[in-house]
Amino acid sequence: MASLTLRKKGKDLFKKDDDYTTSKYIWNMLDGIIDKEKIIYDPFYNKGETKIYLAELGYKNIIHNKEDFYINHHKYKFDIILTNPPYSNKKKVFNELKKIDKPFIIIVPVSTITKQFIRKTFLDKLQMIIPPKRMQFEKNGVNNNRCWFDCVFLAYKINLPKSITFL
Ligand SMILES: C[S@@+](CC[C@H](N)C(=O)[O-])C[C@H]1O[C@@H](n2cnc3c(N)ncnc32)[C@H](O)[C@@H]1O
């Protein structure tokens, strides 16, 4: 019973964790990796900051709208999906990315790479970009340095020169 309660608590916590925003300095780590003229699509919406931050960093074409990714992605033409998805259901995210089969760079906890759903979808097809230090995200406009796990960028069809890029 106790473990059931904990699991339920854990689930709720993950849901809350979904509402973090990727800080501008994190997107800036990809400077020189993504062509700023490309059409970038961040389908996972918190408060809309991706559009603001990427525009401030010089990206010209950004799609980032408040709507359900799974229902709406079909209506867009884009070059790259660039996103930090909800971590509460990564399997669903990767299954959908597999169906879409377009280039992506996605921010996920580093442990994601060992999951069975990655084997089933993107085995041997991903490259990894490792940040110089632990990524910290924003909550309600504040970067509170409280992220307790390490995140990386996983890249698909980006053709980076190395399997693992250390920034
Ligand atoms: C970790 S946040 C990142 C937001 C933004 N992509 C960024 O990088 O700043 C993930 C967001 O996706 C939202 N989300 C969850 N399911 C979604 C869905 N089906 N379609 C669009 N957004 C969704 C959550 O509410 C959460 O705010």
Q: How many domains does the chain have?
A: 1
Residue 135 domain boundaries: 2-166
Is the C-beta atom of 149 inside 6 A of ligand 1?
Answer: no
Q: Is 7 helix (H, G, I), strand (E, B) or coil?
A: helix
Is the C-beta atom of 42 inside 6 A of ligand 1?
Answer: yes
Residue (of 98, 99, 69) closest to 83 by Cα position: 69
| Predicted TM-score (pTM) of this structure | 0.91
**Of the residues 46, 49, 53, 100, which should be mutated to test ligand 1's pocket, given the most ligand atoms within 8 Å of the CB?**
46
Distances (CA, A) of 96 to 77, 91, 101, 110, 131: 16, 9, 9, 20, 25
Cα dihedral 145, 41, 130, 100 in deg (nearest 10): 130
If you average pLDDT over every residue of the chain, what do you get? 91
Q: Tell me, rounded to whole angstroms, the distance of Cα 93 from its chain centroid.
A: 10
- The Cα–Cα gap between 143 and 25 comes to 11
Is the C-beta atom of 69 inside 6 A of ligand 1?
Answer: yes
- Looking at residue 18, its pLDDT comes to 83
- Going by CA atoms, what residue is nearest to atom 10 of ligand 1? 86
Is the C-beta atom of 18 inside 6 A of ligand 1?
Answer: yes
- Looking at residue 5, its pLDDT comes to 39
Q: CB–CB of 30/131 below 8 Å?
A: no
% of the chain exceeding 70 in pLDDT: 90
CATH code (residue 124): 3.40.50.150
- The Cα–Cα gap between 167 and 121 comes to 26
Mean pLDDT of 33-60: 97
For 11-36, how does the pLDDT look when each residue is reduced to its tens digit (9 = 90+)?
Answer: 444 355 688 999 999 999 999 999 99
Q: CB–CB of 154/127 below 8 Å?
A: yes
What is the Å distance from ligand 1's center to 1 Cα? Answer: 31
Atom of ligand 1 nearest to the CA of 17: 1
For 108-152, how does the pLDDT look when each residue is reduced to its tens digit (9 = 90+)?
Answer: 999 999 999 999 999 999 999 999 999 999 998 888 788 999 999
